[in-house]
Structures are given as structure tokens and as C-alpha cells.
Amino acid sequence: NVKHVFPKVYNRCDLAQELVRRDSPLFQDLNTWLCVIQRESSYNTSAHNVYNGDHGLFQINDQYWCDPQNGKYSANACAMPCTYLRDDDLTDDIQCVKQIFNIHGFKAWYKNFI
């Protein structure tokens, strides 16, 4: 099952509308999320930090949350390839973010937006 990766770079307003459209309680603090995403990925869904293994709009780490599919160990707690986090479909990203947020809250991203 191959998922094609089509990246997207959002502007702040379009991303805000997309997150609101999702109608998730997770995004009640929309301004904080927009700051996190801007600092993490500059609103770019294809962002990939090869040095620390962070992927996508939310810069989700491949040591814990997704499978980098390169032989490197991953807990893969979100049960998905990391490439799924670097495309324009935010559905799987948001599912994974909910899981991370339920465990760690904003502390998972805190270092990058203080």
C-alpha cells in the first residue's frame, strides 16, 4: 500500500482555517498551535529534520512516534511510516498529535516555542 507524498506549505490563515475545519478539541488553543507549527516547520508539511528525526508540520520524532523505514529503531507509537507525516493529508498527523498531546501536552513541543 503506497501513499504518494504531496507536500504543502500553508500560510497562517489557511492553516488556521484547516485546523478549525477539523473541529477537534485539540485545537481549542489555536494560537498556541499555530506558533508551535510555525516554529517547528514554518507551516511546511514536508519539513524533515534529518539530524534529530523530526517529520512534518508538527515535527513528530521518528524515535518514538513513526517508522522512518530506514532500519533505525522506532517505538512507532502512532503506527505509521514517517512519510505519512510529510504529505498534505493532515488526518494521520492529527491522529498522532492527539496521542502525543494526551501524554505530554505542549511539553512535547515546548522547547521550540518558549
5-33: per-residue pLDDT in tens? 678 999 999 999 999 998 888 899 999 99
User: Which residue carries 504531496 as its cell?
Assistant: 6
What separation in angstroms does the CA of 57 have from each of 1, 61, 72? 23, 11, 22
36 in a domain, yes or no? yes
Q: How confident is the model at residue 61 (pLDDT cuts 50, 70, 90)?
A: very high
Write down the pLDDT at residue 3. 62
Residue 18 annotated to the active site: no
79 in a domain, yes or no? yes
Residue 54 annotated to the active site: yes
82-112: per-residue pLDDT in tens? 999 999 999 999 999 999 999 999 999 976 5
Q: How confident is the model at residue 4 (pLDDT cuts 50, 70, 90)?
A: low
7 in a domain, yes or no? no
Catalytic one of 14, 23, 29, 40: 40
Catalytic one of 14, 23, 29, 54: 54
Write down the pLDDT at residue 25. 87
Write down the pLDDT at residue 6. 77
3 in a domain, yes or no? no
Write down the pLDDT at residue 113. 56
65 in a domain, yes or no? yes
CATH number of the domain residue 35 falls in: 1.10.530.10
Going through 33-93 in order, the beta strands assigned E by DSSP cover 48-49, 54-55, 60-61
38 in a domain, yes or no? yes
**Residue 58 pLDDT more than 80?**
yes
The number of distinct structural domains making up the chain is 1
53 in a domain, yes or no? yes
88 in a domain, yes or no? yes
Which phi and psi (to 5°) does residue 67 adopt? Answer: -90, 115
Which set of grid coordinates corresponds to residue 62? Answer: 521518528
Range of the domain at 49: 12-112
